[in-house]
Amino acid sequence: MNILGIETSCDETSASVVVDGQIMSNVVASQIKWHQQYGGVVPELASRMHTEKINRVVGQALQDAGVTFSDLNAVGVTYGPGLEGALLVGLTAAKTIAKITNIPLIPVNHLQAHIYAVYTDPVPPEFPFLALIISGGHSIIAQVNDHFKIEILGSTRDDAIGEAFDKVSRVLGLGYPGGPAIEKSARDGNETAFKFAIPMKHEGYELSFSGLKTAVISAVQQFSGGEMPVNDLAASFQKTIADTLIHKAKFAIANSNLKEVVFCGGVSANSYIRTRLADALSESGTRLIVPAFQYCTDNGGMIALTAYYFMQQHPGYSGTINSVKPNLSLCI
């Protein structure tokens, strides 16, 4: 079973080939350096750059995996959530490939795909398990009961954690994307220098990060005109995010009695948070499973893997360019 996966939901043009459940290639063309000058992703620019890159990225993914279009059995593509114009580029490419090679087209939910990135782990979790989907646009606590059966337990009422990283980074003058910049700066900072409260501490599965972002901005304003302790602010902010995720994960574990937690989405690329979460959860006998770094932020590998598991669950699936609409069974 050779599956091509295509991802263009935001600012990464990516394609991957999965053969029998193994990622054989994963080509990611990042647009970050073009968006950096604007301090965030410019949707129109993203669509245009996807259009320029998509053919080369797909060609390279096939070549790296040693397959050709005629070897493919299915093509999976992100249909959402994401930037509309950006999604359209990947969808158009996928539909064209499916049409000319006469293979099924699988519309993949990007957030489910973040979870499926853990299937790169040699010992993937067993159903049911908990998932923390923590990315640039979403922060969700979910229970994954079976393939494509996901129950959302709670999510952010406002900002996503990745978004908070990006905004805090901007006010600290650390640039875009904020996650890696804050992580680097925090290594030289004192994480107890500033005390920020855990948001929604007593609100069960509920999450919220705009208040924390505002608290950091207020702390920054104290130093206007003077020298700002950037590293301490970065470290204290990052610590509060880790404390919050640990607190919420422990709540979810206590409520569900589940013993495996998946941490996925772009923010799961943060080594400090990965380590803090893994250590805190292991104390209570819970195993944390995090995708390898290259599969945390957006990538075609997770899309192709999701499509692979979809085909395993739906043998004989033959959705085509005409029949495929965003498939609700794949929705989170």
Q: If binding is defined by CB under 6 A, does position 270 make contact with ligand ATP? A: yes
Q: Which of residues 4-23 bind ligand ATP (CB under 6 A)?
A: 9-10
Q: How far is the CB of 12 from Mg ion (least distance, A)?
A: 9
Strands in 129-134's sheet, in edge-to-edge order, are 149-155, 139-146, 129-134, 260-264, 287-289
**Distance, CA of 137 to CA of 266 (rounded, Å):** 10
Closest CB to ligand ATP among residues 295, 309 = 295
Q: Which of residues 195-234 bind Mg ion (CB under 5 A)?
A: none
Closest CB to Mg ion among residues 2, 299 = 299
Q: Which of residues 25-54 bind ligand ATP (CB under 6 A)?
A: none
Q: If binding is defined by CB under 5 A, does position 298 make contact with Mg ion? A: yes
Ramachandran category for residue 57: left, alpha or beta (phi over 0 → left; psi -120 to 50 → alpha): alpha
Q: Please pick, from the candidates 81, 85, 124, 319, the single residue that binds ligand ATP as defined by CB under 6 A.
A: 81
Q: Please pick, from the candidates 178, 189, 291, 301, the single residue that binds ligand ATP as defined by CB under 6 A.
A: 178
Closest CB to ligand ATP among residues 270, 327 = 270
**Distance, CA of 148 to CA of 7 (rounded, Å):** 19
Task: Choose one: 150-158, 161-169, 300-308, 309-317; the region binding ligand ATP (CB under 6 A).
Answer: 161-169
Q: If binding is defined by CB under 6 A, does position 189 make contact with ligand ATP? A: no
Q: If binding is defined by CB under 6 A, does position 138 make contact with ligand ATP? A: yes
Buried b (16+ CB within 10 A) or exposed e, 244-272: bbbbbbbbbbeeeebebbbbbbbbbbbeb
Q: If binding is defined by CB under 5 A, does position 135 make contact with Mg ion? A: yes
**Distance, CA of 56 to CA of 58 (rounded, Å):** 6
Length of the chain in terms of residues written: 332
Buried b (16+ CB within 10 A) or exposed e, 313-324: ebeeeebeeeeb
Q: Please pick, from the candidates 110, 167, 239, 276, the single residue that binds ligand ATP as defined by CB under 6 A.
A: 110
**Distance, CA of 259 to CA of 237 (rounded, Å):** 28
Q: Which of residues 290-309 bind ligand ATP (CB under 6 A)?
A: 297-298
**Distance, CA of 38 to CA of 41 (rounded, Å):** 7
Task: Choose one: 134-142, 208-216, 303-311, 317-325; the region binding ligand ATP (CB under 6 A).
Answer: 134-142
Q: How far is the CB of 265 from ligand ATP (least distance, A)?
A: 5
Question: Binding partner of residue 112 among ligand ATP, Mg ion, none, CB under 5 to 8 Å per kind?
Answer: none
Closest CB to ligand ATP among residues 2, 176 = 176
Q: How far is the CB of 315 from ligand ATP (least distance, A)?
A: 29
Q: Cα torsion at 75, 80, 84, 85 (round to 10°)?
A: -30
Q: How far is the CB of 66 from ligand ATP (least distance, A)?
A: 28
81 preceded by a cis bond (ω within 30 of 0): yes
Closest CB to Mg ion among residues 253, 273 = 273
**Start-to-end C-alpha separation, the chain:** 25
How many CB atoms sit inside 10 A of residue 117's CB?
27
Q: Which residues bind Mg ion (CB under 5 A)?
A: 135, 298
